[in-house]
Amino acid sequence: MNRVALDLPAPAKLNLFLRVLGRRQDGYHDLRTAFIAIDLADTIDFEVLDQSRYERLGDLTGPAQDDLAVRAARLLAQRSGCTLGARIEVRKRIPVGAGLGGGSSDAATTLLALNRLWRLGWTREQLAALALELGADVPFFLQRGAALGEGVGELLSPLRVPPRWYAVIHPQVHVSTVEIFSAPELTEHLNQARICGFSANAAQEDSIAIETGGCEAGVNELEPIVRRRVPEVDAAIRYLSGFGSARMTGSGAAVFAAFETPEQARRAILGVPAKWSAWALAGLQEHPLAPW
């Protein structure tokens, strides 16, 4: 047995906008967001093993058994009845706790790769149902392109987003998603939203954000909470706002602004502090593994 797949990409994502519509009975939150993949990716090597063995090599951000790629492999084997295993080696480029979806993308690439290497023949729809058990963002990374996400982010519909380049800054801090979604300020926001309703202006802003590739309008309703709690995120947004309409992605800590040319995106990150990470990245019209 020598089935391998090398250097498979697991791209990061941006949320062009993110609205929190309400808290669900299961403790999660209903969201409305626009996802787009960007040209920053972890890369993963896979090798099929026998006897349901799983080996996790490369960069790790915690215990191997908790790694999302390993969890994805085990879950796929369990649900499919496959008795094979896998060696998974991840080379991380996407920072952890940045709102860029690195772990979720690793899990999705693992599902796609092992579905092929184990010769299971599952459809993307079957894989997406499984992906939701691993995390709310994981199903997006099984989409072929940009998507509007609703529910907890799993109700996905294709979006047409114009070509854009993104200046992305990670101010080298970790933001806890659980902490932000548990913040009292979010409860206050939701109570106010119930009084006011989801306004037509908000829906119009979201449409503009999609149509312009995130260049104008659009909001991230978690952003004010994070900015008050994490000064580095506030500083990164203030810096990038000098070049365009800047906002946070996901629950932070990364922030971005969209531009029409790569030169504009590169210019925006030239003066960032040395302690920050920054990239000028293309928005991907198609996921690198879309043909799979």
CA dihedral 17, 225, 181, 135 (to 10 degrees): 40
Count Cβ atoms below 10 Å from residue 242 Cβ, excluding itself. 10
Residue 92 catalytic?
Answer: no
| Contact (Cβ atoms closer than 8 angstroms) between residue 102 and residue 12 | yes
Eight-class DSSP state of 95 = P
Could you tell me the two tokens for 81?
């009845």
State the Cα–Cα distance between residues 89 and 127, nearest whole angstrom: 21
Residue 268 is given by DSSP the state H
- Given the residues 13, 42, 67, 92, select the one marked as catalytic: 13
Give the amino acid at 139.
Answer: P
| Cα distance between residue 238 and residue 247, in whole Å | 9
CB-based contacts of 142, cutoff 8 Å, min separation 6: 108, 111, 112, 124, 127, 128, 131
HEC per residue, 44-58: EEEEEECCCCEEEEE
137 catalytic residue (yes or no): yes
- Quickly tell me which residue has 């649900």 as its tokens: 79
From 106, 137, 206, 234, active-site residue: 137
Helix ranges (H only) for the chain are 68-80, 102-117, 124-131, 177-181, 184-196, 200-211, 223-229, 231-240, 262-269
* Residues involved in catalysis: 13, 137
